[in-house]
Amino acid sequence: MVSGRAEGEALVTTQTISGWGGINERDGSIIERRHELVGQSFAGKILVFPGAKGSSGWSAFFHMTRINGVAPAAMLFTRMTTKMALGAVVTRVPSMTDFDQDVFDTIRTGDIVSVDADAGEVVIKHRAEG
Amino acid sequence: MQLTDTEKAMRDGEGGEAVAAAMDLLIRYGNALGAERLVETDNVAGAFNASTPSVRKIAENGMAEVFSKLNLDSDKTVEIPQMAARTCQLITGIDDQNWALQGADPQMVQMQRDSEAFVGKRGVNLMATCTPYQVGNVPTFGEHCAWMESSAVIYCNGALGGRTNVEGKESTGAAALTGRIPYWGYHLTENRYGNRHIRVDVPVRSMLDWGLLGYFTGEMVEENIPVLEGDLAGVDLVKLKHFGAAAASSGGVEMYHIPGHTPEARIADEAFGTSRAEDFHVYDAAARKKMYDTLQSAEDRKVDFIMLGCPHNSIEQVGRIAHLLDGKRLHPDVALWVHTPRAIRTVAERSGYVARIEAAGGKVMSDTCPAISRRLPEGVRVIATDSAKQAHYLPAIAKVQGWFGSLEACIEAGLTGTWKGDF
């Protein structure tokens, strides 16, 4: 969807993420009070999530995380929307969707994951402990 | 993605560097979506001015850099030409006149004015409202648009039969300079039919009723397309404005049908097309009460701020507030702000509404709202609002307690300083 390769630690949530009002674009953290990842940062991580929700400011906020150097390393998502597509494009990180396995079953937070969006491959290199 | 010869020429730089950057972004975006082609648009509503501290550093290098980076996703700062499509600015962060009341930094005010001078010179109409359809941008049936602002998108699609997806800051910038947007999602007829059914069993008449129904709708259908039938009446601009903003907040609804009232469905069969939704969600008195309770995020009944006008109020709504406040005084501990587009504010002044609201101690604001600006009167702890959307967002954004209710309940809280509510 957006080409490129990345490797890093996975951050997994089954909840959609808001851009405007949902993240702090200065440190890459989730700030939505009722979100299961509240307080955690996706900076430099492989963000695995269903997709975007909320305001049309989604792309602009993820765009700012890139400008501020706190963008995710890659994005793996399951629900395609205009917010998600534009956000991934302007964040300019490898992004993939439409997987042949359930990513939420397969990938756990803390796993070391390599993403090759050009080849269409996601590989779990190292399992998180526990 | 297929490009026409004109679009290829834009990509290859025949329209200049900015147009080429815009086309490059649209190609990346269209490919990410899996769109087959672009569609022409002559109606763009986006966010082009600079009004927030996070933009300040970029703005120091000039407004061309702001547009290049933030509206075109271009690494190179390019010269920005005239907009190719009819383009307007949506809601912004600072009230150009009441900025001191907002507590805005004068440097930020100057930055917003400089950026507006820059984009205004290039043909951006500075409507500065979340409701462009109230002040001269009313899409015609079937018109392809490129709009941001979830409450405006759902109004465009559902109430008017215009066609837009929820666009962003970069795609609207690119659309404005090329007159193109990916032909995907709600631009295609087959994606506009209803796929969820809501049966309304409790009378929906008042503004409060329509807001609660909207919030319920979003909760039930999430991002799907609801068809609403049943005990509905009094459908008009302000009801659909309120309904849509609520549904877009609780669920991300971008399109709906109310057969007999909205333009793509004279009857329910038209709303569903070939695939009728089998199950329906029932909206009854219990569901209504549950939504009302869900929207409350306050415990303290001592209220210190009344927020009215989300989405921005119509002239009739401002008039109604003036009428309810006539000859009365707000409680000394309570601030009351009414938000309406600047063009409507001018009519409200001429009609005497602004003077009557101010005589009671209230303020009439334009260009912004507290959720967008993140600015409230100092020391506010507990707010009350008649907007389901504002009740959904503002308490989290501003870290305040929030009451939601009818306009009448909000005005009463303004006069007494105490929240009584509607139930």
Domain CATH number, residue B178: 3.30.499
Residue B290, domain extent: 193-294
Q: Residue B84: which residues within 8 A CB-CB, separation 6 or more?
A: B19, B176, B177, B178, B179
CA B371 to chain centre: 11
Which of the listed CATH numbers 3.20.20.150, 3.50.30.10, 2.60.40.10, 3.30.930.10 matches domain A5-126? 3.50.30.10
User: What's the residue count for chain B?
Assistant: 423
Tokens 């991300």, residue located = B252
Distance CA B210, CA B206 (A): 6
CATH number of the domain residue B321 falls in: 3.30.499.10
Query: Is B63 inside a domain boundary?
Result: yes
Q: B246: which 2 tokens?
A: 């609520």
Q: B133: which 2 tokens?
A: 């359809």
Q: Report CA-CA distances (Å) from B45 to A54, A90, B172, B174.
A: 18, 19, 7, 12
| CB contacts, 8 Å: A85 with chain B | 29, 32-33
Residue B413, classed as helix, strand or coil, is: helix
- Write the DSSP symbol of residue B186: G
| CB contacts, 8 Å: A83 with chain B | 166, 168
Distance CA B83, CA B198 (A): 41
Look at residues B252, B274, B294 and tell me which one is the last residue of a structural domain.
B294
Chain segment B392-407, per-residue pLDDT in tens: 999 988 999 999 999 9
Residues B246 and B310 in one domain: no
Residues B123 and B18 in one domain: yes
Q: Contact B396/A67, CB-based, under 8 Å?
A: no
Q: Contact B32/A90, CB-based, under 8 Å?
A: no
- Taking phi first (over 0 means left), then psi (-120 to 50 degrees means alpha), and beta for anything else, what does residue B361 get? left
Residues B231 and B264 in one domain: yes
How do the pLDDT tens digits run along chain B, 423 residues long? 999 999 999 999 999 999 999 999 999 999 999 999 999 999 999 999 999 888 999 999 999 999 999 999 999 999 999 999 999 999 999 999 999 999 999 999 999 999 999 999 999 999 999 999 999 999 999 999 999 999 999 999 999 999 999 999 999 999 999 999 999 999 999 999 999 999 999 999 999 999 999 999 999 999 999 999 999 999 999 999 999 999 999 999 999 999 999 999 999 899 999 877 778 999 999 999 999 999 999 999 999 999 999 999 999 999 999 999 999 999 999 999 999 999 999 999 999 999 999 999 999 999 999 999 999 999 999 999 999 999 999 998 899 999 999 999 999 999 999 999 998
| CB contacts, 8 Å: B32 with chain A | 1-2, 85-86, 88-89, 95
Look at residues B174, B189, B204 and tell me which one is the last residue of a structural domain.
B189
Q: Contact B252/A59, CB-based, under 8 Å?
A: no
To the nearest whole angstrom, how far is the Cα of A129 from the nearest Cα of chain B?
35
Please give the positions of A annotated as active site: 55
Query: Is B300 inside a domain boundary?
Result: no
Q: Residue B8: which residues within 8 A CB-CB, separation 6 or more?
A: none
Query: Is B31 inside a domain boundary?
Result: yes
Query: Is B421 inside a domain boundary?
Result: no
Q: Is A43 exposed, middle or buried (0-12, 13-18, 19+ CB in 10 A)?
A: middle
Structurally, how many domains does chain B consist of? 3
Query: Is B23 inside a domain boundary?
Result: yes
Q: Contact A89/B25, CB-based, under 8 Å?
A: yes
Q: B418: which 2 tokens?
A: 């105490």
Name which of A1, A53, A60 is nearest B168 (Cβ-Cβ).
A60
Q: B21: which 2 tokens?
A: 């950057």
Query: Is B423 inside a domain boundary?
Result: no
Q: B251: which 2 tokens?
A: 């669920």
Nearest CA in chain A to B28: A89
**Chain B CB within 8 Å of residue A112 CB:** no
Residues B156 and B16 in one domain: yes
| CB contacts, 8 Å: B182 with chain A | 82
Distance CA A61, CA B168 (A): 10
**Chain B CB within 8 Å of residue A33 CB:** yes
Residues B254 and B329 in one domain: no
**Chain B CB within 8 Å of residue A3 CB:** no
Residues B12 and B159 in one domain: yes
Residue A110, classed as helix, strand or coil, is: coil
Residues B114 and B238 in one domain: no
To the nearest whole angstrom, how far is the Cα of B372 from the nearest Cα of chain A?
9
Query: Is B111 inside a domain boundary?
Result: yes
Residues B279 and B324 in one domain: no
Tokens 């994005």, residue located = A75
- The pLDDT of residue B81: 98
Residues B235 and B100 in one domain: no
Look at residues B189, B216, B247 and tell me which one is the last residue of a structural domain.
B189
Residues B79 and B211 in one domain: no
Distance CA B62, CA B195 (A): 47
Residues B95 and B182 in one domain: yes
Residues B243 and B170 in one domain: no
